Structure 1
């Protein structure tokens, strides 16, 4: 009887403990599920913001490169026109030739809207799309800026309505000054604002996404969605612009726009050459729209799991299925944006690694310099620079150090080739090219030798080289286009032959190619 009583007493304890364990397990599982869901939603949000931020920064860098390239082209053309005017004077023949050259540049360079030149009183004597004698720009801000005193830089003005077309244009101008510093007029290039705005509107940034091209002083030059009031709005108080002017040339920030009050995720990139920047922004709400959908879905699954552990597995499976579909959609959107970024980077004219002009820019510039030198019967020099034993360097030190070596070599080259109008470009791989307008053979050889010495002076270790350090071989060609060379391709071929001779002669040397029409056919090596 005693044993039976114990069994009857122990039974409630045996049946009660599993209930408490099940309740505790359910509470624990629900707590873990809710906590893990909250942490995942928070992490997913940070990932969504990070991906949008990275995309905005990449797109801003590509668009900044495109804008800087356009400004550089305009700057080069204005410099050339001013040089022609100084050398030819204000006679009718030279004015006619200036107009002809300007119209040719407008026709061949799709980036420019118009080219103009005016005298010290603001009276035009060159205009590519109107009668210059009917125009005067003395009332324009850019004219008054240059009239205040000598200024050798490119002045980027606030967008204005063109007097000839009635359309909004960005003005790029240079002052024309005499040898004594006296003001003689203004050379002006205009860029159609709509050309920039149209490109910006075509980007997949959502209904309220924006792209802004602005000056460092807060002046808006172009915007994807704009009106006349836009160009009167100054964004100098923007935290993004203040960060740029305080030494942060690129980055990302989330803020509320001054123009329309929409909170956006901004990626920005400032030009190191011109006082301009590009900001690309996507509304924060649109950037987080997919994340909000995922957050609601995950929260619903968590609540459903809390209400019934029995259906938790099914809800988890459905959540995983929806997350997979969302990830596929997100990857597709990212690939589409990456494709757009790749297209914009292709349009840019700078080499992404070295910062030099790329091959496309080099070909265009060499052809233009060849035509200009032929028309003016002026000398032109061209050089091909090849890093000696570079494949061995990459094999021995790795491609990362190889890239860094190329960057240092290109910095040294740019430090020695500093004249206005000279161009240093990446020709391909470890080959660079130098275009030297108005430079004869002797001076070209001297400049090439300075480049060679500067590279050797870097002292970059290269155990695979006979010189135990990184060196370059340079092939140089110089002459008068149309007299010594039939075309630019002939100059490149001659420089290539000279480079081949320099490498065949032991490398780390400069060789001057013979002129195409020379009777000797000899190559001259720099001592």
Structure 2
């Protein structure tokens, strides 16, 4: 597509005020400072949370390994007992030897609270205690009922209970043993003292509101730190960990609100592979972020003070810039006013106050310049000299005010008689007017002068002191091509004045050229 040239200059690019640029710069610096600090602070928060998630994950791994090792040690003993009972039977000599073995195993494994053997009716037939209470019966216990009703031979971990023998809180790990025909023969039981877990968990720094727990996969709590008896055996299967997260991933870290105490914690959890246990280590998010919040507040105050200081300094600088801009604008305005005044004064100095035409001073300057130019260019220069006929009588009859108005009307016609930018109409003195016509010969000047004469005559300005009855003019013309060192500008004036004298002395209301030609009305 061809671009269209309109001939107009391209618009100048728009410039923004200095104060607007300075204001924008100050705002940009302050906003950048605040945004950078905000990003750094938020980034520090994310790093703190990420480190906490790694810490809780490692803690959950440690707790899970401890729970696995503890249960595994007890279960290994139970596996050996089941084999011994099913091979050797439950005869009296075998039970006596078994008692010694149970005592020895409890002494070897610190996590064990006790080892017990029950027959198919729940009666005590052997344990690790010094004296066997043959009248005791545990057929009502959850683990006994479970094995009696389930034929699987796997390990069973029951909910926390209080020991009948010592009254302490324990966790039960049990297995079923059978008769030779596969029927139910009884239960072997290992009890783990809850204090063993508590002692281990208390070694970890989890803050004031952190939490550690071990639970069965159905959500039954076996142990929790902080330790509360009311929470033991409580089922939390409907809480977010068991309801939302464990079904999707056996290992993970999530942040959610605890259903037990309403505290938002960062939870890392693990479900053990060989045993139906879930362990969790959780740290309070508010505690984790407490130090970060303190640092963030301090940094925010510092950055806020710095931004405020920059804003104050910037606003002061902007005010100074604004004052300077205003001062420069005032100076520029004053300069423009002075230039306009100078132009007005210069115009007044070069303009006739009555007629509005150029005055004698401007005419003398223009004549000198145009005469020199005509000399350089070898071009013709013409001069028309005009005089109002019988103007003294006009003033005597109508008054000087009317005479001034008459001159103004005549000057309008004279001014309209020139058509080129280089032409000059001037008041030469009194009622005498002149027209300077560069590049014009006598013929052209005659045409201009005659048009002016006729236009003034057609104004029909009443003049009873003139033979024509109206205001008329006489005009003298001369034109020549000046030659350097042979001609002077005064010669043109003298020639035109001489022609004017001839026109007035031969009847007025006529134009006469320097070569003697003239035209009457």
Normalised to the residue count of structure 2, the TM-score between the two structures is 0.55
The answer to whether the 8 Å contact 1:111/1:191 transfers is yes
Matched, 1:174 2:175: yes
Q: Following superposition of structure 1 onto structure 2, how do residues 116-131 of structure 1 map, counting pairs within 5 Å?
A: 116-129=116-129, 131=132
Instruction: Provide the residue aligned with 1:105 in structure 2.
Output: 105
The answer to whether the 8 Å contact 2:30/2:311 transfers is no
CA distance in structure 2 between the partners assigned to 1:311 and 1:202 by the alignment: 54
CA distance in structure 1 between the partners assigned to 2:157 and 2:34 by the alignment: 56
Task: Check 1:290–1:157 CA distance in 2 against 1; reply closer, same or farther (3 A cut).
Answer: same
Pairwise CA distance, 1:126: 1.2
Instruction: Provide the residue aligned with 1:78 in structure 2.
Output: 78
Matched, 1:95 2:69: no
Larger mean CA deviation between 20-29 and 230-239 belongs to: 20-29
Larger mean CA deviation between 241-250 and 195-204 belongs to: 241-250
Task: Check 1:156–1:236 CA distance in 2 against 1; reply closer, same or farther (3 A cut).
Answer: same
Pairwise CA distance, 1:289: 0.8
Pairwise CA distance, 1:245: 4.2
Instruction: Provide the residue aligned with 1:274 in structure 2.
Output: 275
CA distance in structure 2 between the partners assigned to 1:99 and 1:124 by the alignment: 12
Instruction: Provide the residue aligned with 1:495 in structure 2.
Output: none
Instruction: Provide the residue aligned with 1:265 in structure 2.
Output: 266
The answer to whether the 8 Å contact 1:118/1:126 transfers is yes
The answer to whether the 8 Å contact 1:118/1:186 transfers is yes
Pairwise CA distance, 1:307: 1.0
Task: Check 1:243–1:272 CA distance in 2 against 1; reply closer, same or farther (3 A cut).
Answer: farther
Instruction: Provide the residue aligned with 2:114 in structure 1.
Output: 114
Matched, 1:228 2:229: yes
Q: Following superposition of structure 1 onto structure 2, how do residues 35-46 of structure 1 map, counting pairs within 5 Å?
A: 35-46=35-46
Pairwise CA distance, 1:244: 5.5
Pairwise CA distance, 1:22: 3.5
Pairwise CA distance, 1:179: 3.3
The answer to whether the 8 Å contact 1:200/1:223 transfers is no
Pairwise CA distance, 1:111: 1.7
Normalised to the residue count of structure 1, the TM-score between the two structures is 0.54
The answer to whether the 8 Å contact 2:212/2:280 transfers is yes
Instruction: Provide the residue aligned with 1:69 in structure 2.
Output: 69
Instruction: Provide the residue aligned with 1:58 in structure 2.
Output: 58
CA distance in structure 1 between the partners assigned to 2:261 and 2:228 by the alignment: 12
The answer to whether the 8 Å contact 2:266/2:285 transfers is yes
Aligned residues: 298
Q: CA offsets per residue over residues 405-435 of structure 1, 9 Å max, x none?
A: xxxxxxxxxxxxxxxxxxxxxxxxxxxxxxx
Secondary structure of the 2:134 match is helix
CA distance in structure 2 between the partners assigned to 1:90 and 1:251 by the alignment: 46
Unpaired segments ≥5 residues, structure 2 = 1-14, 314-521
Pairwise CA distance, 1:69: 1.0
CA distance in structure 2 between the partners assigned to 1:188 and 1:24 by the alignment: 79
The answer to whether the 8 Å contact 1:233/1:259 transfers is no
CA distance in structure 1 between the partners assigned to 2:169 and 2:220 by the alignment: 14
Instruction: Provide the residue aligned with 2:23 in structure 1.
Output: 23
CA distance in structure 1 between the partners assigned to 2:257 and 2:42 by the alignment: 22
Secondary structure of the 1:240 match is helix
Instruction: Provide the residue aligned with 2:140 in structure 1.
Output: 139
CA distance in structure 1 between the partners assigned to 2:212 and 2:264 by the alignment: 14
CA distance in structure 1 between the partners assigned to 2:25 and 2:217 by the alignment: 61
Q: CA RMSD in A?
A: 2.1
The answer to whether the 8 Å contact 2:256/2:267 transfers is yes
The answer to whether the 8 Å contact 2:86/2:178 transfers is no
The answer to whether the 8 Å contact 2:255/2:264 transfers is yes
Secondary structure of the 1:184 match is strand
Unpaired segments ≥5 residues, structure 1 = 1-13, 313-527
Secondary structure of the 1:164 match is coil
Matched, 1:241 2:216: no
The answer to whether the 8 Å contact 2:98/2:126 transfers is yes
Task: Check 1:151–1:35 CA distance in 2 against 1; reply closer, same or farther (3 A cut).
Answer: same
Q: Following superposition of structure 1 onto structure 2, how do residues 365-384 of structure 1 map, counting pairs within 5 Å?
A: none
The answer to whether the 8 Å contact 2:222/2:233 transfers is no
Pairwise CA distance, 1:227: 2.4
Instruction: Provide the residue aligned with 2:149 in structure 1.
Output: 148
Matched, 1:210 2:208: no
The answer to whether the 8 Å contact 1:216/1:245 transfers is no
Q: CA offsets per residue over residues 427-470 of structure 1, 9 Å max, x none?
A: xxxxxxxxxxxxxxxxxxxxxxxxxxxxxxxxxxxxxxxxxxxx
- Larger CA Rg, structure 1 vs 2: 2
